[in-house]
């Protein structure tokens, strides 16, 4: 009896974690899992029908075989292949990019990267054949979502504003070399994996970060129209996990002369408006709630940046201890702040933000106090908890 109850609780925990995923991350995860189970059970299509074969997409056959760009991305060779890719995607999507960019922007980004990664894969394979005479990549049958994931890794690294990252806790590399280090590790662990598929993801992500894909990025007005269309029919309370683009975070900062001075207003997921005058690099996008990862080496005299929920694939460092002011507030006696207890009980905490902070390693009570001090601004709460 106890065993069945424990199994039921574990199932409920997994389902609740699934429900807590942001909307686009949850949808992409569901599509990948459904596609894998559908074909694994019914076996309607062979891998050769679904996979990306560059040799079949050369010249006039490209449009006729264009469907392979989508089917190959959502097809996986094994359950382990699916598991690894989805774990990586959830880490980047749920705890990083979707919370920064909003659900609509993130969905458009995944769609764009799916097309560009497949197209780049074909171009790289054709280039290696024409220039180097390497025909092997022309005939490989590539499947998996890892190309899109590698492009998102490049974005997550750039948006997190970090200098160094550790690779699965094994060694530390420069942030710019991190995606290439991941490719090397993956090739060592899985020699049969698609090298060009992973490399195409890094190329697409780098082009996006450098600003060369600006023309392909939907405008703010287009994103707002899509959001308004969605919210006009369904209230946001009923859209479980929907993240609004309230900060105009998809605006592409275009390079004019060197760095661009930015004095834009950011609205965090908690709804609190904040302003920063930090100089943005020409390739950066203003993001909601930027968090400088614990992997970076920060100067104690530097001006704090707006921080969010960036995560890495490897092991992270434990959260920084609370600042002295935060400790002092906890140690105050009831007589010195008679309304503190009542205010704490009456404060409308956002349960999702509490869950997020606890999953990041912060104690629940300290997370609640930080959210109260920041008026449910999860980014400011993280700053408080990390002592920034």
CATH 1.20.1540.10 fits 11-312, yes or no: yes
Residue 310 confidence (pLDDT) above 80: no
- Burial, 233: exposed, middle or buried (Cβ in 10 Å; 0-12, 13-18, 19+)? exposed
Eight-state DSSP code of residue 59: G
Domain ranges of the chain: 11-312, 324-385
Write out the two tokens for 112.
């764009």
Q: Which helix (H) or strand (E) holds 165?
A: strand 164-167
Assign residue 240 a region: left if phi > 0, alpha if psi is -120 to 50, beta otherwise? beta
pLDDT of res. 266: 31
pLDDT of res. 5: 55
Residue of 291, 307, 295 lying closest to 167 (CA atoms): 295
Residue 297 confidence (pLDDT) above 70: no
Mean pLDDT of 133-147: 88
Written as one string, the DSSP assignment of 286-306 is --TT----TTS---TTSPPPP
How long a stretch of residues is the chain? 388
Helices 178-189 and 146-159: crossing angle in degrees, nearest 10, is 150
Sequence-distant (6+) residues with CB within 8 A of 362 are 319, 370, 385
Write out the two tokens for 88.
């990586």
Assign residue 81 a region: left if phi > 0, alpha if psi is -120 to 50, beta otherwise? alpha
Beta partners for 164? 174
Binning pLDDT at 50, 70 and 90, where does residue 86 land? very high
pLDDT of res. 3: 55
pLDDT of res. 197: 92
Write out the two tokens for 154.
């490049």
pLDDT of res. 7: 58
Architecture per CATH, 324-385: Orthogonal Bundle (1.10)
Residue 366 confidence (pLDDT) above 80: yes
Write out the two tokens for 359.
């999953």
Q: Are 242 and 236 in contact (CB under 8 A)?
A: yes
For the chain, the distance separating the N- and C-terminal CA atoms, rounded to the nearest angstrom, is 48
pLDDT greater at residue 201 or residue 344: 201
pLDDT of res. 169: 75
**Rounded-to-integer distance, Cα 304 and Cα 275, Å:** 12
Q: Are 305 and 159 in contact (CB under 8 A)?
A: no
* pLDDT tens column, 196-244: 999 999 999 999 998 899 888 888 888 888 888 888 877 666 777 888 8
pLDDT of res. 286: 34
Residue 259 confidence (pLDDT) above 50: no
Q: Which of 10-19, 294-303, 349-358 has the highest mean pLDDT?
A: 349-358
Binning pLDDT at 50, 70 and 90, where does residue 345 land? low
Residue 311 confidence (pLDDT) above 50: no
Written as one string, the DSSP assignment of 231-282 is HHHS-TTTSTT----TT-TT-----SSSSEE---EEE-TT--EEE--PEEPT
**Rounded-to-integer distance, Cα 344 and Cα 242, Å:** 27
Supply the pTM of this predicted model. 0.62
* pLDDT tens column, 144-196: 999 999 999 999 888 877 788 877 777 888 888 888 988 999 899 888 889 99
**Rounded-to-integer distance, Cα 349 and Cα 365, Å:** 11
Binning pLDDT at 50, 70 and 90, where does residue 38 land? very high
Eight-state DSSP code of residue 319: P
**Rounded-to-integer distance, Cα 231 and Cα 238, Å:** 10
**Rounded-to-integer distance, Cα 367 and Cα 16, Å:** 20
**Rounded-to-integer distance, Cα 388 and Cα 385, Å:** 8
pLDDT of res. 8: 54
């Amino acid at each position: 009896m106890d065993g069945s109850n424990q199994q039921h609780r574990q199932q409920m925990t997994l389902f609740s974690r699934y429900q807590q995923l942001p909307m686009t991350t949850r949808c992409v995860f569901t599509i990948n899992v459904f596609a894998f189970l559908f074909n694994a059970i019914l076996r309607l299509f062979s891998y050769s029908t679904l996979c990306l074969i560059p040799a079949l997409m050369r010249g006039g056959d490209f449009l006729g075989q264009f469907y392979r760009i989508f089917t190959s991305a959502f097809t996986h060779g094994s359950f382990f292949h699916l598991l690894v890719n989805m774990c990586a995607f959830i880490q980047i999507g749920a705890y990083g990019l979707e919370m920064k960019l909003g659900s609509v922007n993130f969905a458009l980004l995944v769609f764009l990267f799916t097309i560009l990664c497949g197209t780049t894969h074909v171009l790289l394979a054709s280039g290696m054949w024409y220039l180097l005479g390497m025909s092997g990549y022309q005939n490989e049958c590539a499947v998996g979502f890892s190309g899109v994931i590698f492009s998102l890794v490049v974005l997550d690294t750039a948006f997190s504003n970090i200098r160094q990252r550790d690779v699965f806790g094994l060694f530390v590399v420069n942030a710019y070399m991190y995606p290439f280090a991941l490719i090397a590790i993956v090739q060592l662990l899985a020699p049969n994996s698609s090298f060009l598929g992973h490399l195409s993801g890094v190329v697409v992500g780098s082009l996006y970060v450098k600003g060369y894909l600006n023309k392909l990025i939907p405008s703010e007005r287009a994103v707002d129209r899509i959001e308004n269309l969605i919210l006009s029919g369904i209230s946001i309370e009923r859209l479980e996990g929907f993240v609004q683009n309230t900060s105009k975070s998809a605006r592409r900062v275009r390079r004019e002369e060197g760095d661009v001075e930015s004095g834009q207003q950011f609205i965090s997921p908690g709804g609190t408006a904040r302003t920063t005058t930090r100089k943005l690099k020409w390739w950066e996008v203003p993001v909601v709630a930027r968090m400088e990862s614990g992997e970076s080496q920060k100067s104690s005299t530097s001006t704090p940046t707006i921080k969010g929920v960036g995560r890495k694939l490897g092991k992270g460092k434990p959260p920084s201890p609370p600042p002295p002011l935060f400790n002092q507030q906890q140690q105050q006696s009831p007589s010195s702040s008679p309304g503190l207890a009542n205010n704490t009980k009456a404060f409308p905490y956002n349960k999702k933000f509490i869950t997020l902070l606890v999953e990041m390693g912060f104690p629940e009570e300290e997370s609640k106090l930080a959210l109260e001090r920041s008026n449910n601004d999860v980014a400011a709460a993280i700053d408080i908890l990390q002592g920034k």
